[in-house]
């Protein structure tokens, strides 16, 4: 993960599944569902995409940051 400032962090992981509400990534050998609403350009994310930009507040809430 790389903090970008502006309350956002880039997660270097590939999306393996996607629904209308969230995307599933494999991060450090953990499968994690990330709501599209906390991702920059979340409505355009799809399976195979990498380098998700996620809100810091959500990562902190989930204990990932």
DSSP tag of 6: T
Rounded Cα distance, 48 and 58, in Å: 22
CATH hierarchy code of domain 2-61: 2.40.50
Q: Which run of H or of E encompasses 5?
A: strand 2-5
Bridge partners (DSSP) listed for residue 8: 5, 55
Tokens 């569902």: give the residue. Answer: 33
Q: Can you give the residue ranges of every domain in the chain?
A: 2-61
Q: How many Å separate Cα 22 from the centre of its chain?
A: 9
Average pLDDT over residues 14-21: 96
Predicted structure pTM score: 0.91
Is residue 34 within 8 Å of residue 26, measured between CB atoms? no
Tell me the pLDDT tens digit for each residue of 21-62.
999 999 888 999 999 999 999 999 999 999 999 999 999 999
């Amino acid at each position: 993960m790389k903090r970008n400032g502006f309350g956002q962090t880039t997660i270097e992981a590939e999306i393996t599944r996607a629904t209308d509400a969230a995307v599933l990534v494999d991060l450090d050998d953990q499968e994690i569902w990330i709501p599209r609403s906390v991702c920059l350009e979340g409505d355009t994310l799809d399976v195979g995409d990498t380098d998700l930009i996620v809100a810091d507040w959500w990562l902190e809430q989930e204990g990932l940051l």
